Amino acid sequence: MATFLNLHAVQWIAVIIIFFMLFLLADALAGHYRTGFKLHIQYMPFAAGGVLILFLIGSVFLPLNKRITTLLKFTSWVTILAGFAGFIFHHYYGMIKKPGGYSWFLHHLMYGAPPLAPLGLSAAGLFSVVTAYAMQQETKFLGYEFSQVIFFLVGLCMSGIILQTAILHFRGAFNNPVMYIPFTFPLLTAIMLFIADFISHAWLDMVLKGLLWLTFLSGFVGLGMHLRGFDRQRAGLYVTLFNILQGPPLFAPALYSILASIALVAIYMM
Residues that bind another protein (CB under 8 A): 4-5, 213, 216-217, 219-221, 223-225, 227-228, 231-232, 235-240, 257
Q: Taking the complex as a whole, how short is the minimal distance between the CB of residue 16 and another protein, in angstroms?
A: 12
CA-based torsion, 18, 20, 26, 31: positive or negative: negative
Closer residue to another protein in complex, CB, 18/126: 18
Closer residue to another protein in complex, CB, 31/236: 236
Q: Taking the complex as a whole, how short is the minimal distance between the CB of residue 33 and another protein, in angstroms?
A: 17
Closer residue to another protein in complex, CB, 26/85: 26
Residues in contact with 177: Cβ distance below 8 Å, sequence separation at least 6, in sequence order: none
Q: Taking the complex as a whole, how short is the minimal distance between the CB of residue 239 and another protein, in angstroms?
A: 7
| Closest to 122 (Cα-Cα) out of 165, 159, 75, 155 | 75
Q: Taking the complex as a whole, how short is the minimal distance between the CB of residue 254 and another protein, in angstroms?
A: 9
Three-class SS of residue 45?
A: helix
Is residue 131 within 8 Å of 59, Cβ to Cβ?
yes
Identify each DSSP E strand in the chain by its residue range: 3-4, 7-8, 140-141, 144-145
Residues in contact with 179: Cβ distance below 8 Å, sequence separation at least 6, in sequence order: 169, 172, 225
Closer residue to another protein in complex, CB, 154/254: 254
Q: Taking the complex as a whole, how short is the minimal distance between the CB of residue 120 and another protein, in angstroms?
A: 20
* Residue type at position 26: A
Closer residue to another protein in complex, CB, 62/239: 239
